[in-house]
Structure 1
Amino acid sequence: MKISELVQELVNSAERGASIARAIRAESELLDLLVQEKKGEQKNPRFVQDFKTLADVLVQEMMKYELSKRFPGIGENIYGEESNKFTNILGETVTVQIFPDHRQTAELLCKVLDGNEKAAKLLTSELYRDIVIDPGPELQMLGDLQVDVNDIGVWIDPIDSTAQYIDGLDGAVSDSVMVQNGLQCVVVLVGVYLKSSGLPIMGVANRPFTRLENSQWQGESMWGVSFNQTRVFSIQTHEKEAGKVAKETNNDVKKLSVLMSQSELQIIQELFGRYMGIRHAAGAGYKLLGVIQGHCDAYVLSKGSTFKWDTCGPHAILLALGGGIISFKFLEDAFSKIADSSMKYQLKYNAPDNESLTGGAKWSNSQGLVAYRSLAELKQVIDIYQTTPTN
């Protein structure tokens, strides 16, 4: 399989997913129909309320359908956050899937939507819309690079930051050129990894709600490939001054800008806050994009509240940039040890971290994470962590 062809298809599918997300948000009563509360093991324990939407399921199943159609045999190795079971207000459970015949898909969606034909047709038209996105001139840098289709797996997060998506608020940009919450935090994520090594090799991230233009939301897309000795990324490197909190000095120590969740343990925030500018934002995917785009130096999370589908795509992009994602626990290791064999320390995606976990937690990044854009920035994070008196 040509990697350039897979990148093109992933970019197209992610944009189609973004288009679906925007279409649903544009119809408030449609959004009300679609919201379903997650139950039991599917519920993320970090949130008091967590939601599954039909938008999630549609984007996920659409990607599976399109990728399987383009690359036969890949479908059985595509995994996502969402179950494709959906229960309508009558209590009927329907398995959502995409059919070659759009009329068959529309009929199925009509069942899910309790007979709402107008809504079903609207969603179906978005699912089958012909979308081709220019991935940019960087795609040519991949040349004829090939990967064995039997050795790849795909993780999909159809709509990361679902709670922000449902709330539908327009987040206010802070001094770090990021928002703390709002629709801008929503991201469609897809990542490809090698089953043999577990390492991510390709990632696409699409923000459907990047900015408002003439009362219409516009998005942005980025991708990266890190395979063997090839490193290609589609995004422009942002100047430090444009995307990051200004570097401050405290006793000649440079002050990094680090992203954390507001729910991060207070002791961790205080520990890192001695030397770093702490910034908060919603959504694991959005925080990872903040590091990718140079808005912050790192993303630190001590808890296992992210999942393989959250990190696989952005992780591949970070590797393409010379960065990566390691478990939080490795901050206790010597930097030289990590630098000498950094691939060994990266998060892996072909097996659970902890086989004893069940349900959605089985695929969590159970030991936390540290995402970084370069080894130099990782070194500073490790140095500060290891020299902090309370550590």
Structure 2
Amino acid sequence: MRLRSDPTVRRAVPFVNLNRQHEAIAAELDAATTRVRAESAFTLGAEVEAFETEFARFCGVKHAIGVGSGTDALHFALRGFGIGPGDEVITAVNTFAATAEAILMCGARPVFVDIDERTCLLDVARLEAACTARTRAIIPVHLYGQPAEMRTILEIAGRRGLKVIEDACQSHGAMSDGKATGSLGDAGCFSFYPSKNLGAMGDGGIVVTDDDELAEHVRRLRNHGENEERLHIEPGFCSRLHGIQAAILRAKLPALAGWNSQRVEAADSYAEVLSGSSVILPATRSGATHVYHLYVIQTNDRDELRARLDDQRIATGVHYAVPLHQEPAFASLGYGRGDFPVAEHVTSRIVSLPMYPYLERSEIEVIGDAIARARPR
């Protein structure tokens, strides 16, 4: 379904409003960009090293290696563990395409697992059955900002000798059993796409880990396979976190906890405002903190509801409209319609509502009122 996309149309409530965040720390952002211009350290350099140190401390790990995107973070973590042709990597079928792309970039095969209908997270009850003699790793996805059920995933992985690479691209600051996402598995991968809970002003990503060998390998991969002696040990890639983005992320990182708290408060307001409606609200896991990168409801009349909200100039999204096994890019994997019935059902019902720091209670009430008044045409 296509909704109005005219950028000149002013939204009553936009899907994302980055200006409010940026205005709140405008002085810090100005100082950050001025500092980089003065130092002329635009690719890697001191700002990147400082941010890597600060983000590693934030996650509670030894190493953080900045790269060009969250996709590259996943790719390099897999490749750094030696995963390649003939190997299989298990992940959720309803994640963003980048998760599966990273597996294919290594020459490995993505193996999809269906999801839990309420949380939309990988269904760990189906995980063991997806493992084969070729399985080398599991990529749990902390979708929408909620940690996957890591305790069970880690138990299965430990018993089978599998690597666990967390797709934490939507879960900056989320916790599971008292530990930050990214620090639970063998490696964690984050995206700094601008709309993320911690976003740059362009693309960026990072790999976090306690594994010294992996950290060294990822540092080489991001910079043409070059080691500290400037020797090219292996063919690599050009995927370096830029100094300007690192400086911006350093300015934003101290605000992240507060911004995440505002997202949780907004989710609580949504729950109150929508309590009398027919939509199904997001389910949260016990033992985990949800940081609501996205606020995703479920409804039987998804397209009709989106059209009605669009009429009221309220922006919405769908994350994601098609499970990966139905995407043309992954047709060669041989999956067919009906192979993942829960994901197929859920993806026909989900709607993402506006969610961001400084989203006002009055705006949430406008959205709730529009949902309550939505009726079939």
TM band (smaller chain): under 0.3
Structure with greater proportional strand content: 1
TM-score of the superposition, structure 1-length normalised?
Answer: 0.26
Higher relative contact order (CA 8 A, sep 6+): 2
Q: What TM-score results when the alignment is normalised by the length of structure 2?
A: 0.27
